[in-house]
Chain A
Amino acid sequence: MKQLIELKVNGESYEAAIDPHRTLLEVLRENVGMTGSKEGCDLGACGACTVIIDGKAVLACLTLALDARGKEITTIEGLAKDGKLHPLQQNFVDYGAIQCGFCTPGAIMSAKALLDENPKPTVAEIKRGVSGNLCRCTGYTKIIEAIEVTAK
Chain B
Amino acid sequence: MRLPKFEYLEPTNVKEITSLLKKNADAILVAGGTDILPKMKQRIVTPKFVINVTKIEDLKKIEFGEKKGLILGSLATLDNISKSKQVIEKFTALAQAAGRIASPQLRNMGTIGGNISIESMCMYFNQSHEWRKGRPHLCFKLGGDRCFVAKGSKECLALFQADTPPALIALGATVTIVGSTGKEKIINIEDFYTQKSKKVNILKPTDFVKQIHIPTPPKGTKSCYLKMAQRAAIDYPIAGAAACITISGNKCKNAGIAVTSVGSGPLRLKEVEDILIGNSITDELIAKAADAAYEKIRPMPHFNISAWYKRKLIRVLVKRSIKQACI
- By a beta-carbon cutoff of 8 Å, the part of chain A in contact with chain B is 3, 19-23, 26, 42-45, 47, 50, 56-59, 62-64, 66-67, 110, 113-114, 127-129, 131-134
Contacts and interface: CB of A to CB of B under 8 A. Distances in A.
Contacts of A129: 104
Contacts of A50: 105
A57 B103 CA distance: 10
Interface string B218-237: 00000000000000111000
Contacts of B33: 62-64, 67
Contact of A64 (B2, B41, B52): B52
21 contacts: A19-B5, A20-B5, A20-B8, A23-B37, A42-B41, A45-B234, A56-B108, A57-B104, A58-B109, A59-B109, A64-B8, A64-B30, A64-B52, A66-B10, A66-B52, A67-B54, A113-B104, A128-B233, A132-B104, A133-B103, A134-B234
B119 interface: no
Contacts of B103: 47, 131-133
B69 interface: no
A132 B38 contact: no
A122 to B, nearest CB: 15
B254 interface: no
Interface in B262-302: none
Given A21-B5, A57-B105, 15 more contacts: A21-B2, A21-B4, A23-B3, A47-B103, A56-B108, A58-B109, A59-B34, A59-B109, A62-B37, A62-B109, A63-B33, A64-B30, A64-B33, A64-B50, A129-B104
B79 interface: yes
Contact of B105 (A23, A42, A67, A132): A132
Contacts of A19: 5
Nearest to A42: B1
B102 interface: yes
B104 A44 contact: no
How many interface residues does chain B have, given as a range? 20 to 34
Nearest to B32: A62
B316 interface: no
B126 to A, nearest CB: 9
Contacts of A131: 103-104, 232-234
Contacts of B108: 56-58
A59 B102 CA distance: 12
Contacts of B37: 23, 44, 62, 64
Contacts of A42: 1, 41
Nearest to B234: A45
Q: Which residue, of B6, B105, B233, has the highest number of chain A Cβ atoms within 10 A?
A: B105
B106 interface: yes
Contacts of B1: 42-43
A23 to B, nearest CB: 7
A21 B50 CA distance: 9
Nearest to B39: A43
A72 B28 CA distance: 26
Given A57-B105, A131-B104, A132-B102, A44 B38 contact: yes
B2 A110 contact: no
Contacts of A62: 32-34, 37-38, 109
B7 interface: yes
B106 A59 contact: yes
Contact of B34 (A44, A56, A133): A44
A26 B3 CA distance: 11
A56 B104 CA distance: 9
A22 to B, nearest CB: 8
B104 to A, nearest CB: 5
